[in-house]
Amino acid sequence: MKELFHIHTYRCKHAKDEADELYIKRAVELGAEKITFTDHAPFPGNPFGNRMDMEELTEYVDTLSELRKRYQDIIDVGIGLEIEYLPSFKDYYKWLKESGKLDILILGQHMYELADGGYSFDLKSKENEEYGLAQAMIEGMNTGYFSVLAHPDRIFRRHKEWDENMTKLSLDIINVAMDRKIPLERNLSSMKRKRQYWPQFWELVPDAAEVVVGLDAHGVKELEMVLEY
């Protein structure tokens, strides 16, 4: 694999406490030509956990930009963010996109905004969360701000078995991604976890669709996932 895509950093608070440069050095050892960081994006006011704080965003971009320069003859360093689509923050995505400092925004829909302004993590029953997640992903793709759809099949993580509704929802997602020319991410970390990676989803993806492989690494050691792939 030439590009190690979808890499997190210690800033998200649930990754290993390892320096960004260690990821780059390991990527070089593994023979990669590019490493793309997409840490969990902050939101203004820091309303959510498990991500960098808003105050860290400048440092994140500056540190990686400096490393990109230092390693330019050895490996490419991509600088991006993984982020959920939440309609209340529409202006923020625009601001991130127009800042010109990020190479890529990837849509990783781990939760979604409810009609009353709350968020899906507050729902008592998350049994049907795939509908809200899919809806948010589709709306997000239609904004044009996002360049890759991260782990689309992970929305079914609460299901034990594949059913017809999942097929329908998957096709809705795949069709919008194809219309918008947004690559779907086959996520290597999902493959290691129960019910996050669904071969039934990928069987529905036509050959004409663009697919990227992402590691979703939260530690330097996890870069070695590429050796198994």
| Residue 162 or 195 having the CB closest to Zn ion | 195
CA distance linking residue 87 with residue 26, whole number of Å:
37
**Minimum distance from CB of 82 to Zn ion (Å)?**
5
Beta strands in 163-222 (DSSP E): 184-187, 211-214
Nearest Cα residue to 152 out of 129, 136, 134: 134
> Are 78 and 34 within 8 A, CB to CB?
yes
**Minimum distance from CB of 65 to Zn ion (Å)?**
21
Sheet harboring 211-214: ordered strands across?
3-7, 34-40, 76-83, 104-107, 148-149, 184-187, 211-214
**Minimum distance from CB of 218 to Zn ion (Å)?**
6
Q: Which residues bind Zn ion (CB under 5 A)?
A: 82, 216
| Residue 8 or 68 having the CB closest to Zn ion | 8
**Minimum distance from CB of 24 to Zn ion (Å)?**
18
| Residue 69 or 194 having the CB closest to Zn ion | 194
Which residue in the shown chain puts its C-beta closest to Zn ion? 216
| Residue 206 or 216 having the CB closest to Zn ion | 216
